[in-house]
Amino acid sequence: FFEPHPYKVRSESVLSIIRCSDKYKVEYLHRRALAHLLAYDFPTTLSGYDGDNSSTDFGWFLGNPASRACIAAVQLARQVNVLWVLPVAFHRLATTDKETIQKILHCTNFKGHPTKLGGNDQIVFLTCSILLTRLELNAVSFLHSADSNPNCAGSTKCTAALYDYMASVGGPVPLKLCDSAGIWPDLSDNCCDKCYRSLKAAHAVARQEIWNELPGVCGLPPWPELEKTKADALKG
């Protein structure tokens, strides 16, 4: 018996059921499996991305930069035409590490599921890795915002704290850049309250703008169109 979300299920089971239910047109199983894996592990909103509502063990596999599970999801998304999965999937895969890139490009199998990226998706993966690395500049642009903050009460102390992090924060996953670097506790300790609040607000705006760009980076329609496609696919 295949339980609905939020019951816990194994990711390889979900992949199998999505593929089989699509092939044999078992609509209720198809919707249930999509809700488990693709609606929660690969969300279409930034709040969903930041949340933790997954009912699968997929997140454990996604911790691996060369995630075979993520590649399997990309291939399945192409096969059953659930394209809203792809922006977050490629964002998770994006890397500038040569060894990891080679592993992703040469990956062929995840627990019996094919994971070989097609030629077009190899190009999308490499393009995302390049473009998302550039977007990291947008992700850390908020670190400059306190320079011109007329309400700053910390003077040079705030500016010095920001400069300390400008050179240390980097990577090809801009949505998680600052949280991964663990900068917020130190900024809270070393910046005045007004600058800290301003930084948090500017960071939130930068992340939303990056999120809005993800579909275009993958050559897909904007999020509202992808969300409509997802809603139609999950309709009972």
- If you compute the radius of gyration of the chain from its CA atoms, what whole number of angstroms results? 20
pLDDT of residue 56: 60
Tell me what pLDDT residue 55 has: 56
pLDDT of residue 180: 63
Q: What is the pLDDT of residue 213?
A: 94
Beta strands in the chain, from DSSP E residues, in sequence order: 109-110, 113-114
Q: Provide the pLDDT for residue 65.
A: 46
Per-chain mean pLDDT for the chain: 83
Rounded to two decimals, the pTM is 0.85
DSSP 116: P
Whether 59 has a pLDDT exceeding 50, the answer reads: yes
Q: What is the pLDDT of residue 82?
A: 92
Residue 143 backbone phi and psi in degrees, to 5:
-65, -15
What pLDDT sits at residue 143?
Answer: 77
